[in-house]
Structure 1
Amino acid sequence: MTPHSLAGLIVYGEKPGSLLSFYRDQLGLPLAPARHGRIIEHYEALLEHSHVALFAGAPRIVPSFRVADLDAALAAAEARGATRALDPLDLGEGKRVAGLRGPDGFEIRLIEIHD
């Protein structure tokens, strides 16, 4: 199953205040505090069709790709040898996400969104 589009980027950093300052104050992203589903409080913004979120954590950037059927996309990727990094998680608001580990150890996420 091929992803529809790039759905967003999740940026993690050890200094959340510095992340916020850079992405909101210097770059101009309209980031605001958010908390939904079982996700911890974070900052997020919607840019046309892409979501950007900032979280505290080990520094990394995780791309998210939108799929029509998360379970089918995850099963297809694993059948082709992909390794799961995050079990499916219900984010609330009609959104479910799961993660895969890329060949160099980086993580990507697949997200299913029902409007």
Structure 2
Amino acid sequence: MKIEGLHHVAIIASDYARSKRFYAEVLGLPIVAEAYREVRDSWKLDLALPDGSQVELFSFPSPPPRVSRPEACGLRHLALRVADIDAAIAHLQAHGVACEPVRVDEYTGKRFAFFADPDGLPLELYEV
């Protein structure tokens, strides 16, 4: 088997409209497609990342809560590459999004910072 890259990351939102605004407007991810799936009473929004991968945003009636702290067992966080972490943090803060202090990766020397989406899912900015 040869993995060629990441295709998508899927996220279930508790408030679809709020999360759609966050990912499309605050993070600036272009909308590829949006569909309402009547059988599931669910919205699905495909958002593009610059490398061709996507974020899939879903709504489902009454989704159960999930532990989402970065140190919980399971998927730890979604890291987004940025060229200027200070500018990215300023943009998020201008939209009312709190960011943790910038840290330096002890192995790569690169700067990174965590923040959360509207449901508290851990996201990371990683400066390249």
TM-score normalised per structure 2: 0.42
Q: Considering Cα pairs closer than 8 Å and 6+ residues apart, tell me whether 1 or 2 has the greater RCO.
A: 1
Question: Which has the larger strand fraction?
Answer: 1
TM-score normalised per structure 1: 0.46
